[in-house]
């Protein structure tokens, strides 16, 4: 996360949470064992070869099968009990063969399949009242890709709402809180030694300096720019605050409803609402839109099956 002579952040610098860093480090160890030229410090910049590309594609395919495919199969097997086998197969194919996922992950090596698979494991778990397991899975998803933040409020309200309706609410809330904190601490241990390190990681994770939106993004801020150029009227800090408040206000109704009605059906609706509000009002960078494109299919699948829980 720190810029140095041996770590040029302008050359594909890491701008994802620590779990992504661990995964990249593991891939680097394996790559070095196979061919040191693939990951030679500085000298490997721009390096291309047939076997190197093949290795990178295999790294995506492997985690795709282990994490995302497993989550999709579990989702279809456990959440769609009333569906026919042909309907289950159709939805499964939609989940696994969605073009944007294939292009982005297998062509751009974004590894969204990891965060999406972990998030889907989290949804499956909390819907079946395996709340601790679901909290671990979602926390790991969030620590792999920060784009999962727009599902954080629905997860929080759903788990809190269920806990408040429990006879042992204090114990349950404490258990979930300790679980989430423990996952974050374990993921962030290398970055917690100095405040400067924490701030630098946060700066890399949320690069607001890239701008409010890009011209290819069709959100509220891009639309209103036709009439009013907010980027010329407000400071970067004001724009960041405006987008954060707008997203929160837009997301709150479904989440407050979920807090008082913590049912799987309301949870699904809140997840979809969180996604839509983040796309329309959030502070965008291009990678965020790529993530939204991938995550949309998860939300679509959840909406399709939400009738199971009415």
- Average pLDDT, integer, range 56-74: 90
Query: Cα(286)–Cα(211) distance, rounded to whole angstroms?
Result: 10
Spatial contact of 119 and 137, defined as CB atoms under 8 Å apart:
yes
- Average pLDDT, integer, range 75-104: 80
- Does 308 have pLDDT greater than 70? no
- Does 235 have pLDDT greater than 90? no
Tell me the chain's radius of gyration from C-alpha atoms.
20
Predicted pLDDT at 108? 72
Q: Name the more confident of 107 and 122.
A: 122
- Does 60 have pLDDT greater than 80? yes
Residue with tokens 């809180």: 177
- Does 303 have pLDDT greater than 60? no
Query: Cα(19)–Cα(14) distance, rounded to whole angstroms?
Result: 11
Dihedral Cα 169, 175, 180, 184, nearest 10 deg? 150
> Two tokens at 99?
């073009």
Q: C-alpha distances in angstroms, 140 versus 69, 110, 170, 179, 185?
A: 17, 16, 24, 11, 11
Q: Which of 67-71, 97-101, 245-249 bottoms out in mean pLDDT, i.e. has the lowest?
A: 97-101
Q: Whose CA is closest to 98, among 244, 260, 300? A: 300
- Average pLDDT, integer, range 90-113: 78
pTM for the structure as a whole: 0.86
Q: Which of 15-19, 54-58, 209-213 bottoms out in mean pLDDT, i.e. has the lowest?
A: 209-213
């Amino acid at each position: 996360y720190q810029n140095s002579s041996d770590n040029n952040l302008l050359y594909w610098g890491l701008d994802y949470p620590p779990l992504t860093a661990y995964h990249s480090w593991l891939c680097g160890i394996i790559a070095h064992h196979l061919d040191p030229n693939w990951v030679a410090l500085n000298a490997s910049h721009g390096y291309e070869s047939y076997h190197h590309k093949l290795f990178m594609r295999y790294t995506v395919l492997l985690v795709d099968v282990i994490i995302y495919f497993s989550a999709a199969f579990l989702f279809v097997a456990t959440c769609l009990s009333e569906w026919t086998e042909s309907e289950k197969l159709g939805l499964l194919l939609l989940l696994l063969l969605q073009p944007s996922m294939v292009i982005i992950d297998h062509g751009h090596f974004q590894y969204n399949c990891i965060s999406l698979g972990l998030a889907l494991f989290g949804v499956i778990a909390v819907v079946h009242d395996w709340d601790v397991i679901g909290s671990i899975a979602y926390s790991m998803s969030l620590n792999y890709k920060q784009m999962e933040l727009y599902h954080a409020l629905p997860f929080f309200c759903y788990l809190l709402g269920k806990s408040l309706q429990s006879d042992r609410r204090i114990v349950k809330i404490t258990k979930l809180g300790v679980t989430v904190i423990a996952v974050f601490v374990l993921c962030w241990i290398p970055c917690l030694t100095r405040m400067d390190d924490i701030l630098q990681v946060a700066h890399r994770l949320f690069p607001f300096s890239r701008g409010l939106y890009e011209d290819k993004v069709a959100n509220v801020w891009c639309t209103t720019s036709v009439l009013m150029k907010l980027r010329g009227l407000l400071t970067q800090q004001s724009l960041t605050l405006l987008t954060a408040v707008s997203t929160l206000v837009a997301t709150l109704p479904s989440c407050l409803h979920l807090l008082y009605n913590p049912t799987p059906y309301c949870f699904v609706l809140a997840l979809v609402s969180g996604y839509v509000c983040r796309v329309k009002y959030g502070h965008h960078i291009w990678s965020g839109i790529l993530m939204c494109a991938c995550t949309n299919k998860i939300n679509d699948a959840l909406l399709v099956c939400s009738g199971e829980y009415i």
